[in-house]
């Protein structure tokens, strides 16, 4: 059983209240939305807690409580709280201490992937299961998709274009960031443009990248860190792990997914067809449902790894 996502659900993520707590690692801003099994949303580059809410709203309407922090340098979390993936992982663990959650599922995406992987590796008792969507784990150049929104005027132009010429914009998106042929891009664009929920998702993603002044420090830090990313201790991850990646992702090469899958024992690799945002757009009617059922089957209710027989 699933509850369908509505455009108004996604829009409401953008105005959801947020708070900042003084953790042992430093100040961390977060938003807390929903009830049920807790799910930590580790947002991508050019994001914030608002982007984390948008990315996980489907799970929230289907019974999860989403905790969405702003990573250091984004919105209300200062960069001093943690520059490296390891420092950001420790800050996430400190946030869980402050809000009284011992153990929970974690979903990371894109440029938030290194912090989410590091959280599972460094704090295995805190992570019940891990989902990674088009996530970085190898050095990659600065994301072309992130550069789309690196200035507020660009975002406003994208939103204006989206409202008046959705299909041409989507064709450009799928060709540039998904390596689709012109014919493939046209088919995908027509399908997404006809779906109000997927269009609302795209609009919300753009809106959750606005406010450049509040995201620039995090964006610059992500760009520098990911370009020269130090090896992550992926072999230390012991929790159930689902790695979802678009085979044609032109922002985060698919080699990242293969690299993680080969090093995380027992991990599952799920290939999507499409662009860097295939999870929300091209495969928006199948991939989120698969992730939902996977998370339901890997509940945070069980004992941590060291307590298992």
Q: Output the pLDDT for position 144.
A: 54
Phi and psi of 241, rounded to 5°?
A: -135, 130
Answer yes or no: are the C-beta atoms of 130 and 234 closer than 8 Å.
no
Q: How far apart are CA 25 and CA 151, in angstroms?
A: 30
Is pLDDT above 50 for 172?
yes
How distant, in Å, are the alpha carbons of 15, 53, 92, 173 from that of 25?
A: 27, 23, 9, 38
pLDDT band with cut points at 50, 70 and 90 for residue 149: very low
Q: What is the pLDDT of residue 301?
A: 52
The chain-wide mean pLDDT, for the chain, equals 89
Any domain includes 1: no
Residue 178 has a pLDDT of 67
212 pLDDT band (50/70/90 cuts)?
Answer: confident
From residue 249, how far is each of 45, 202, 246 by CA, in Å? Answer: 15, 17, 5
In a domain? residue 234: yes
Question: Helices 152-164 & 166-178, crossing angle to 10 degrees?
Answer: 120
- Confidence check: pLDDT of 24 > 60: yes
Q: Is residue 2 part of a domain?
A: no
Q: Judge whether 227 lies within some domain.
A: yes
Domain span holding position 251: 7-307
In a domain, 124, yes or no: yes
Which of the four pLDDT bands, split at 50, 70 and 90, describes residue 308? very low
Task: Report phi then psi at 297, rounded to 5.
Answer: -85, -5
Could you tell me which residues are beta bridge partners of residue 22? Answer: 27
pLDDT higher at 40 or 160: 40
User: Cα separations (Å) of 59 from 53, 65, 112, 263?
Assistant: 10, 8, 18, 27
User: What is this structure's pTM?
Assistant: 0.91
- Evaluate whether 7 touches 200 at the Cβ level (below 8 Å): yes
pLDDT top residue among 206 and 125:
125
Round to whole Å and give the CA distance between 92 and 107.
Answer: 12
CATH number for the domain spanning 145: value is 3.40.50.1820
Dihedral, CA atoms, 55, 56, 59, 61, nearest 10 degrees? -90
Mean pLDDT of 244-248: 95
pLDDT in tens, 28-82: 999 999 999 999 999 999 899 999 999 999 999 999 999 999 999 999 999 999 9
Are 73 and 219 within 8 A, CB to CB? yes
Alpha-carbon distance of 36 to 64, in angstroms, equals 5
Chain mean position to CA 34: 18
Query: What's the pLDDT at 174?
Result: 73
E strand or H helix at 144: helix 144-148
Strand order in the sheet with 104-109: 19-23, 26-33, 64-69, 37-42, 104-109, 127-133, 241-246, 268-272
Inter-residue contact 126 to 103 (CB < 8 Å):
yes
Secondary structure of 6-48 as H, E, C letters:
CHHHHHHHCCCCCEEEEECCEEEEEEEECCCEEEEEECCCCCC
Provide the number of structural domains found in the chain. Answer: 1
> Would you state the pLDDT for residue 41?
98
């Amino acid at each position: 059983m699933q509850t369908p996502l509505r455009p108004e659900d996604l829009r409401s993520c953008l105005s959801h209240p947020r708070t900042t707590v003084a953790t042992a690692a430093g100040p961390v801003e977060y938003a807390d939305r929903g009830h049920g099994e807790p799910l930590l949303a580790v947002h991508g580059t050019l994001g914030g807690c608002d982007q984390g809410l948008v990315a996980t709203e489907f799970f929230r309407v289907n019974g999860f409580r989403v905790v969405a922090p702003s990573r250091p340098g984004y919105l209300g979390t200062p960069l001093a709280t943690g520059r490296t993936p390891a420092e950001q992982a420790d800050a996430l663990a400190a946030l869980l201490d402050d809000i009284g959650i011992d153990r929970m599922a974690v979903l990371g995406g894109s440029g938030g992937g290194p912090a989410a992987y590091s959280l599972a590796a460094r704090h295995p008792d805190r992570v019940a299961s891990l989902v990674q969507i088009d996530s970085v784990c190898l050095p990659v150049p600065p994301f072309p998709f992130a550069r789309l929104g690196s200035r507020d005027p660009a975002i406003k132009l994208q939103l204006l274009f989206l409202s008046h010429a959705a299909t041409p914009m989507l064709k450009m998106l799928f060709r540039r960031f998904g390596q689709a042929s012109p014919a493939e891009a046209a088919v995908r664009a027509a399908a997404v443009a006809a779906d109000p929920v997927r269009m609302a998702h795209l609009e919300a993603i753009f809106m959750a990248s606005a406010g450049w002044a509040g995201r620039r420090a995090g964006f610059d830090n992500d760009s520098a860190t990911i370009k020269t990313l130090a090896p992550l201790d992926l072999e230390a991850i012991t929790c159930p792990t689902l790695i979802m990646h678009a085979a044609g992702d032109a922002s985060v090469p698919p080699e990242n997914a293969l690299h993680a899958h080969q090093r995380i024992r027992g991990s599952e690799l799920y290939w999507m067809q499409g662009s860097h945002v295939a999870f929300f757009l091209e495969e928006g009617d199948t991939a989120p449902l698969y992730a939902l059922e996977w998370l339901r089957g890997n509940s945070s209710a069980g004992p941590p790894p060291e307590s298992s027989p």
